[in-house]
Amino acid sequence: MSGRQKNWAGNITYGAARLHRPGSVERLQEVVAGSSGLRALGTRHSFNAIADCPGGDLVSLENLPDSIDVDAEARTVTVGAGVRYGELSRRLHREGYALRNLGSLPHISVAGACATATHGSGDANGNLATAVAAIEMVTADGEIAVLRRDRDGDRFRGAVVGLGALGIVTRITLDVVPAFDVRQHVYENLPWGRLEDHFEEIFSAAYSVSLFTGWRGPRIDQVWLKRRVGGADPREAEPEWLGATLATTALHPLPGMPAVNCTEQLGVPGPWYERLPHFRLDFTPSSGEELQSEYLVPRQDALGALRALDRIRDSVASVLQVSEIRTVAADDLWMSPCYGQGAVAIHFTWEKDWPAVRQVLALVEEQLEPFEARPHWGKLFVMDPERLRSLYERLPDFQRLLGAYDPAGKFRNAFVNDHLLGEDHR
């Protein structure tokens, strides 16, 4: 490794001594078997040290085979772990298939997104890991292990959102559905009172719904509605909706930013993979000069949590670029923030000023504590590790799974030890 590697945002400098870029699974097996400590590195979109391995090894998946194999009979696709959603989506669409949902960025890798329970939006859409039907990984002894949803039950449900702590994932099998088209409209200036009075109506108004706010006034700045063409909701976009106004030009979530790198809006129909993300694969959504946090609260507590944050809106706005509010369906994956509960995800894109952001995060978490908010695993938070561990009822089972697959702790790092294990389990 020549020089220290950084994450996409540049706020983390990895402390690993070596970076490996194996070109085959066989070579990866050799690297894993010969290492005493290592972590997988995806597209580096995590904002905390979850991927780091100080003094040990990092393994990049970018040179592993980028195979994409569709099984029409099983309605699945098996992909190399380093494949990005953007490339996978284009290939799937050409063959007449789609994924049920996508994240905001098509630039992220399949393995990294699933391992951290990254999500898109929609009442009926779980996080991206809920599409996983099977995973193949290299375990601590350098051997290949395969876990399947239809065969391995609880062990599978514990391993999918594995946070990189069980092994190095090499291939993932995902459920697919027939390809579909989507239209995207944006509304501006939704009054806060209308959000409170029509919360369920707003989030059921489209296949995917995102609310953007700067927390600078009693309003939601933008509402992004992504509706399936020919779906259950064929309604046309009204010029005014719940007090918000239909945008007549394409918009970026950040006020004043050009919309050229955003997916097409104004109701123009297009393939699912060109509408469900907020940003185009061919453009970089920003320069990385930002920090990100996100908290997921139980769906039934959404309005209470949003009212609590509104009480500290001035503090939030002082270091904020934009905030996004989405819904995510419940799932049964042990370490998913949506385990056992539908959730509302409250996302923050911050200015790149960690000392100031850290102070505001303490205020945010104080306001959200009564609602048992679970932070996104790949983003920034300051929550006490003991408090975080208490939010995951299946954590003891996950700890036993770690012991079974990696008894010597080869895939653990300070993040895993602090936030998943604690002093009594190291």
- Please give, one letter per residue, the 3-state secondary structure of 328-389: ECCECCCCCCCECCCEEEEEEEECCCHHHHHHHHHHHHHHHHHHCCEECCCCCCCCCHHHHH
pTM for the full model?
0.95
pLDDT, residue 4, reads: 74
Q: Is the pLDDT of residue 104 over 60?
A: yes
Calculate the average pLDDT of the chain. 93
The whole-number pLDDT of residue 213 equals: 97
> Minimum mean pLDDT among 85-89, 106-110, 244-248: which range?
106-110
Q: What's CA 291's distance to the chain center, in Å?
A: 14
Strands 57-60 and 18-20 turn out to be parallel
Rounded Cα distance between 63 and 179, Å, is 29
Asked if the model's pLDDT at residue 9 lies above 90, the reply is no
Task: Determine the pLDDT at residue 1.
Answer: 46
Instruction: Identify the residue whose tokens are 């300051």.
Output: 382
Catalogue the E-assigned strands of 215-315.
219-228, 240-241, 244-246, 270-271, 291-298
Handedness of CA 386, 387, 388, 391 (dihedral sign): positive
- Measured between alpha carbons, how far is 388 from 163 in angstroms, rounded to an integer? 15
Determine which of 16-20, 270-274, 288-292 has the lowest per-residue pLDDT on average.
Answer: 288-292
What's the chain's length in residues? 426
C-alpha closest to that of 416 among 154, 116, 32, 29: 116
Distances (CA, A) of 350 to 46, 150, 356, 375: 14, 41, 10, 15
Give the tens place of pLDDT for each residue, 105-160.
888 899 999 999 999 898 889 999 999 999 999 999 999 999 999 999 999 999 99
Q: Please choose, from the candidates 303, 306, 326, 73, the residue with its C-alpha nearest in 3D space to the C-alpha of residue 198.
A: 303
57/138 Cα distance (integer angstroms): 15
- pLDDT tens-digit series, residues 295-339: 999 999 999 999 999 999 999 999 999 999 999 999 999 999 999
Residue entry with tokens 């945010």: 364
Residue 422 pLDDT more than 90? Answer: no
Q: Are 94 and 179 in contact (CB under 8 A)?
A: no
Q: For 192-206, b where at least 16 C-beta lie within 10 A, e where not — what string? A: bebbeebbeebbebb
Tell me the helix, strand and coil percentages in the chain, rounded to 5.
30, 25, 45
Query: Comparing 61 with 2, which gets the higher pLDDT?
Result: 61
pLDDT attached to residue 2? 45
CA distances from 153 to 54, 148, 401 (A): 34, 8, 13
What's the number of CA atoms in the CB half-sphere (13 Å) around residue 226? 30
Q: Which domains, and CATH codes, for the chain? A: 68-178 (3.30.465.10), 181-383 (3.30.70.2520)
Residue-level pLDDT at 281: 82
Q: Which residues of 20-59 are buried (b: 16+ CB within 10 A; e: fewer)?
A: bbbeebeebbebbeebebbbbbbbbbbbbbbbbbeebbbb
* Rounded Cα–Cα distance for residues 343 and 91 (Å): 31
Check: CB of residue 53 under 8 Å from CB of residue 39.
Answer: yes
The answer for residues whose C-beta is within 8 angstroms of residue 252's C-beta and 6 or more apart is 258, 259, 261, 262
Comparing CA positions, the residue from 81, 11, 3, 123 lying closest to residue 353 is: 11
Tell me what pLDDT residue 7 has: 87
* Beta carbons within 10 angstroms of residue 283's beta carbon: 12
The answer to whether the beta carbons of residues 219 and 310 sit under 8 Å apart is no
- What is residue 65's predicted lDDT score, i.e. its pLDDT? 87
Q: How confident is the model at residue 208 (pLDDT cuts 50, 70, 90)?
A: very high
pLDDT in tens, 388-403: 999 999 999 999 999 9
pLDDT for position 77:
98
pLDDT of residue 313: 96
Say yes or no to pLDDT of 23 above 90: yes
| Nearest residue to 117 via CA among 132, 105, 136 | 132
Predicted local confidence at residue 43, as pLDDT: 85
56 — alpha (psi -120 to 50), left (phi > 0) or beta? beta
